[in-house]
Amino acid sequence: MGGDREERKVVISKSREKELESQGWVRQFVAEEPRLSEAVELYLSLGMEVHLEPLELDEPQEEGQCTECLRGSRDRMRVIYTRCLSREGELEGARDKKG
C-alpha cells in the first residue's frame, strides 16, 4: 500500500515538491471539487495551514505510472499540502484577537 502512494507522488515538479517540504509542508493527496473544498475545510478546522498546488502532468513520470485519467480534470484538480501552525503563530493570533 505504501508503494502506491510513492507511485502517485510525481504530479508536481520534484524541485517544487522539495521546496515545499523544506518549508514544512506535508503532501496529503490530490482532489477536485467537491472533495477539495471539504478537505481544505477539514484541515483548517484542525488548525492546520493549507496550500494547494496545480497538477504538473508534463513532468517525466516514473516507470509504470499512468496519469492519463487525470488529464481530463487537470484544471480542476489540486495537490493538497498541509502544515501545522507554529506555536508562535498561534500565540500571536490569540494576542491579536484580545486587542
Q: What is the pLDDT of residues 49-64, one digit of tens each?
A: 999 999 876 655 555 5
Instruction: Please say if the pLDDT value at position 10 is more than 70.
Output: no
Higher-scoring residue by pLDDT: 24, 9 = 24
- The confidence band for 39, taking pLDDT boundaries of 50, 70 and 90, is very high
> Is the pLDDT reported for residue 7 higher than 50?
no
Mean pLDDT across 61-86:
75
According to the per-residue pLDDT averaged within each range, which of 6-10, 70-74, 86-90 is highest? 70-74
Domain ranges of the chain: 2-98
Task: Give the burial string for 85-94 (b: 16+ CB within 10 Å, else e).
Answer: eeeeeeeeee
- The set of long-range contacts for 85-89, using a CB threshold of 8 Å and a minimum separation of 24, is 85/47, 85/48, 85/49
What integer pLDDT is reported at residue 76 of this predicted model?
86
